[in-house]
Amino acid sequence: MPPLSFINFVLALLVAPLLLGVINKTKAFFAGRTGQPLLQAYFDLWKLLHKGAVYSRTATWVFRAGPVVGLACVVLAAAIVPFGGSRAMIAFPCDLILLAYLFGVMRFFTVLAALDTGSSFEGMGASREVQFSALAEPALLLGLAAVARLTGSYSLSDMLPALSMSAPANSGPVVVLVAGALLVVFLVENARIPVDDPNTHLELTMIHEVMVLDHGGPDFAFILYGAALKLWVLGSLLAGVAVPVRTGNAALDCAAALGVMLCLAVLVGVVESSMARLRLLRVPRLLVGAVVLSGLAFVLLLR
Amino acid sequence: MMLTLMSLAAPLLGGCLALLAVRMPAWSARAGVAGALAGGVCGLIAGFRVLFSGVSVSLELPWSVPGGAFHIAVDPLSAFFLIPITLLGALCAVYGGVYLKGRGDARGIAPGWFNYNLLLASMVLVVVSRNAVLFLVAWETMALASFFLVTFENGRPNVRMAGWVYLVATHLGTAFLLALFAVLGERAGSYDFDAFARAGATMPASLSACAFALALIGFGAKAGFIPVHVWLPEAHPAAPSHVSALMSGVMIKTGIYGLLRLMGCLGAPAPWWGWCLVVIGLVSGVLGVLFALAQHDIKRLLAYHSVENIGIITMGLGVGYAGLAHGFPGMAALGFAGALLHVLNHALFKGLLFLGAGAVLHGTGTGDMDHLGGLLRRMPVTGATFLIGSAAICGLPPLNGFVSEFLIYLGAYDGVTSPPAVVAVACLPVIAGLALIGGLAAACFAKVFGVVFLGEPRTEHARHGHEAAAGMRWPMIVLAAACVLTGFSAPVLLAGLAPAVGVLTGGTPEMIRGALGAAANPLVWIVVVSTMLALLTTALAVLRNRLLSGRTVAAAGTWDCGYAAPTARMQYTASSFAQPLTDLFGFVLRTRNKQTGTGGVFPAGASFATEPNDLFRNQFYDPFFGRAAALMAWFRRVQHGRVQLYVLYIALTLLALLLFSVG
């Protein structure tokens, strides 16, 4: 295990909540507000970790297992995705499947924890979550299949660094299409506009937020941190495909990737400020669109 | 060989003893369970011995049936199928011994155990017989024994209907097998499978294609390929739960076994076979899970999931045959290994889930999910094992379902990155299909577990639910442990799988190991990550508890938006949870809604009910058989029931024959 991949992993663990701050600052800028401090997410986590907890009388151990399993999954996922042109800590053929399925475990337990409260609102959020993720998964894996065919390998740590170095000249359209699909997956999986609105506080309109309505204290801190880390992991996957900056200097590559991540956070802020949430019935079309983009990217590679 | 024969004889003996003790139900149950257990242990040892030594054993005895010979053999492929059959057969018998107590009328117990043990023995015989006539005898015994088990509670009209549908479907399947064996026997001049294989090597492509199609339909009907699956969602819920577990867990796999065995006799595979299997697998997998999503009855839902998992297995076989036909041994080995491992895994988790569903049925008296809820508190062991089974069937790491799906993915990504476009295009639907099926299955099992075991009890049924007896709990615990163990011992299992894969791909053991070696490193990594996941989860749980110690941890009601009078009926139900997905795929599901809406200023009661629909049953088979029956009714005009008229028919026939012979 090269030391660089460990540094990248620690970087992910430390910097992930910052992305939330950047997104919120961008949104505040568009709204003409000062907005919350850049490090607000860190303050929230600190505060939540020092609180007690209130558990529903309906809930069982499954409810308490939800945040713990979810955070464990996403931490491991962070060790699988390479960052800034270097290899990840965990790299093996088809690690991308494990990545997708780790998010599957996280989602399964979040959904079960939501259903464990017996609340109709949380059931609603859980139901929407499983619907959208069932469509997001094919888009993600098909998109990565196209990248796999482009680079001739199917380990993330080989695929992403290979993208700009030895990829054939006509790979541009493929990368653009896959990046489009991954952007949709990124927004859906992280409960962002145009699919879900992390800022509204009306139970009927939310997906992710409503599922974790009953969590508090350290449990909620785990969930909040897990969500930030998930944003980072899927973001670095998207950044690795869309903007493969490879200078050859490891430190420079890492700095460039960090810059790309911050730009991605600004982009999310811009998207959230400039468009409204889609009607829920329209979201599947967006996802099917992402599947089609991935499929199209693959077709371009068939010769 | 002795052990194999004993695994055949012990259940038969136990079954006969059970039948002898027909007036003493408790003793017939004991005899039945003992027979199945003894047979199971012998079969397990026999299976493992052949699989790990790689040495096949065979036995040929004279048999005075024309065309037949009592030729049985255990090669690695048979041995691999023997393991789930005997393991699940023994565990379900233990469970059934308790489950059947006080269910149905006592006179049914003895025949029930006779048929159970007969089913077990015939399944063993199916996978070891090497002669077409013997195979068909075993196949039919299996069909009939399971038919009588399906109609165990024959007092209920829907059970009789399910039995009838099953009987028709299984015999239509057998008809295709008869044709297949006739074709192959004609060509080989003998009904021995070894002779089939020798003749198959020189068979013209058109004949091979024809035989492949016959095998696909004949064995597919048993395995539950869509669209010949219609018997499955009827028969599995109708049978007692331990029988459902056995039928769903292993009996349908005899269809997969038969297909593999006979495809091995058809010479080198044509490229389109792989394609064909991928398409069938994709359709069965996706439609199976979609139909499952729409169900409200827990056992019916599980039955549709068997269709889905057969689809996953078939996709793996498709990858395997595509790899074989296009000359990619690595891809072929991975596809076959994934499919075979999924056969074992599905037996483990589907057996577990059906036993769990039986415990719910036993403890609450209903299998309708919308009438359950909050059972985890009342049935902690059933609930915990059911959760493990649910996570395993969704293919979530670190459980066994993930490992077998991962092997199929690995084969498919191998194909996708290989140069020929045709292979890549064949493998792409496998990736998309597995991803979609995985997501939908997770949705479906979140629904099952969430609605049945979590939340508040919705009715009195659920409020009075009680945990299963020890005899029912232990088989579930063993199966759940097997699911976890299989997930964590994947790299070791891969070595055990190699000989069975070798039977399918051909080639020396070294070649197979080399081809499967591509999977060795990833599987070790998966075990590492799984272990880390377990450790990290424990560490975080400890951290959370440390943080909370010394602080106020309160209990309160669930947040309900300030609504003053929440009731358990306000929870999301199975139907409402699945509604967005069933709506999205409404074009294939066509779920029927019955509703009386609210209206006026003071609305009175309103109702809403959804009725799941099987596209093929209701839009294809029912109209088809209805038309056929109408057509046949025309012939009934000649049959009036008057003896004079029949005498007239005879006289006319004699006259016609006389004229024919004279003229």
Q: For the segment B594-646, what is each residue's pLDDT rounded down to a tens digit?
A: 777 777 788 877 887 777 878 888 888 888 888 988 998 888 877 778 888 89
DSSP A32: T
Residue A250: C-alpha distances to residues A53, A158, A200, A253, A256 (Å): 44, 16, 41, 5, 10
Residue A187: both structure tokens together: 């927004």
pLDDT, position B454: 94
Closest-CA residue of chain B to A147: B417
How do A53-56 and B553-556 pair as beta strands? Answer: parallel
B76 CA to chain A: closest CA distance, Å? 28
Q: Which residue has the higher pLDDT, B361 or B564?
A: B361
Q: What is the DSSP letter of A87?
A: P
Q: What is the interface pTM, i.e. ipTM, of the complex?
A: 0.95
CA-to-CA separations, A301 to A162, A180, A237, B22, B271, in angstroms, rounded: 16, 17, 21, 68, 22
Query: For residue B536, what pLDDT is reported?
Result: 96
CA angle A120, A124, A125 (to 5 degrees): 120
CA B363 to chain centre: 24
Helices (H), chain A: 3-31, 40-49, 61-80, 95-116, 120-151, 156-165, 171-189, 208-211, 217-242, 250-274, 283-300
Strands (E), B255-315: none
Chain A environment of B555 (Cβ under 8 Å) = 54-57
Q: CA B569 → CA B132, B215, B456, B457, B574, distances in Å?
A: 56, 49, 9, 9, 12
A258: number of Cβ within 10 Å = 18
Overall average pLDDT of the B472-498 stretch: 92
CA angle A120-A122-A123, nearest 5°?
Answer: 60
Nearest to A141 by CA among A301, A2, A298: A298
Per-residue pLDDT band for A209 (boundaries 50, 70, 90) equals confident
Residues B482, B347: Cα–Cα separation, whole Å: 11
Asked if A90 reaches chain B (Cβ–Cβ under 8 Å), the answer is yes
More confident residue, B101 or B659: B659
CB–CB of B455 and A69 under 8 A?
A: no
Q: For residues B242 and B253, what is the distance between their CA atoms, to the nearest angstrom?
A: 17
At residue A166, does pLDDT exceed 60?
Answer: no
Q: How confident is the model at residue B474 (pLDDT cuts 50, 70, 90)?
A: very high
pLDDT for the residue numbered A75? 96
Q: Give the mean pLDDT of B180-205.
A: 90
pLDDT in tens, A41-61: 999 999 999 999 999 999 999
Band of residue A110 on the pLDDT scale cut at 50, 70, 90? very high
Are B455 and A58 in contact (CB < 8 Å)?
A: yes
Confidence of residue B88 (pLDDT cuts 50, 70, 90): very high
pLDDT > 70: percent of chain A: 96
CB proximity A142 to B under 8 Å: yes
Residue B117 has pLDDT above 90, yes or no: yes
Q: How many CB atoms lie within 10 A of CB B219?
A: 26
- For residues A240, A246, A249, A255, the Cα torsion angle rounded to the nearest 10 degrees is -50
Q: What local confidence, expressed as pLDDT, does residue A201 receive?
A: 67
Task: Inform me whether the C-beta atom of residue A42 falls under 8 Å from chain B C-beta atoms.
Answer: no
pLDDT band at A168 (very low <50, low <70, confident <90, very high): low
Position A96 scores a pLDDT of: 94
Residue of A296, A295, A70, A92 whose CA lies nearest to A189: A70
A233 band by pLDDT with thresholds 50, 70 and 90: very high
What is the SS3 string spanning B169-225? HHHHHHHHHHHHHHHHHHHHCCCEHHHHHHHHCCCCHHHHHHHHHHHHHHHHHHHCC
A156 touches chain B (CB under 8 A): no
> Min CA distance, B367 vs chain A (Å)?
19
- Residue A103 pLDDT > 90: yes
Contacting residues of A for B571, CB less than 8 Å apart? 118-120, 123
What mean pLDDT is predicted for residues A204-223? Answer: 88
Preferred mutation among B386, B558, B560 to probe A, highest tally of A CBs within 10 A: B558
For residue B192 the two structure tokens come to 């021995």
Which residues in chain A have Cβ-Cβ distances shorter than 8 Å to B438?
A: 101, 104, 137
When pLDDT is averaged across residues A239-264 and rounded to a whole number, the result is: 87
> What is the amino acid identity at position B93?
A
pLDDT of residue A170: 64
Q: What is the mean pLDDT of residues B47-73?
A: 86
* Contact flag A126-B556 (C-beta cutoff 8 Å): no
SS3 B69: coil
Max alpha carbon distance in chain A (Å)?
A: 61
Q: Which residues of A touch B445 (CB under 8 A)?
A: 108
pLDDT at A167 over 60: no
Q: Residue A72 class from Cβ within 10 Å (0-12 exposed, 13-18 middle, 19+ buried)?
A: buried
Non-local (6+) Cβ contacts of B143 within 8 A are B167, B170, B171, B174
Residue A1: pLDDT band by 50, 70, 90 thresholds?
low
What average pLDDT does range B102-116 have in this prediction? 81
Question: Which residue would you say has higher pLDDT here, B576 or B511?
Answer: B576
What is the DSSP pairing of strand B592-596 with strand B607-611?
A: antiparallel
Q: What is the mean pLDDT of residues A16-37?
A: 93
Mean pLDDT on A147-152: 90
Q: pLDDT by residue (tens digit) across B3-34?
A: 888 889 999 999 999 998 888 888 888 999 99
pLDDT bracket for residue B103 (50, 70, 90): low
- Please state, in angstroms and as integers, the Cα–Cα distance from residue A157 to each residue in A73, A82, B651, following that order: 19, 6, 87
Question: What is the model's pLDDT at position A303?
Answer: 72
> For residue A9, what pLDDT band results from cuts at 50, 70 and 90?
very high
Interval B307-328 mean pLDDT:
94
Q: How many Cβ atoms sit within 10 Å of the Cβ of residue B477?
A: 16
Q: pLDDT at position B54, please? A: 78
- Find chain B residues with C-beta within 8 A of A100's C-beta: 435
Q: Please count the other Cβ atoms lying within 10 Å of the Cβ belonging to residue B22.
A: 16
Q: Which own/partner pairs from A205-210 qualify as long-range (CB within 8 Å, at least 24 positions apart)?
A: A205/A277, A206/A125, A207/A125, A207/A128, A207/A129, A207/A132, A208/A125, A208/A129, A209/A125, A210/A114, A210/A121, A210/A122, A210/A124, A210/A125
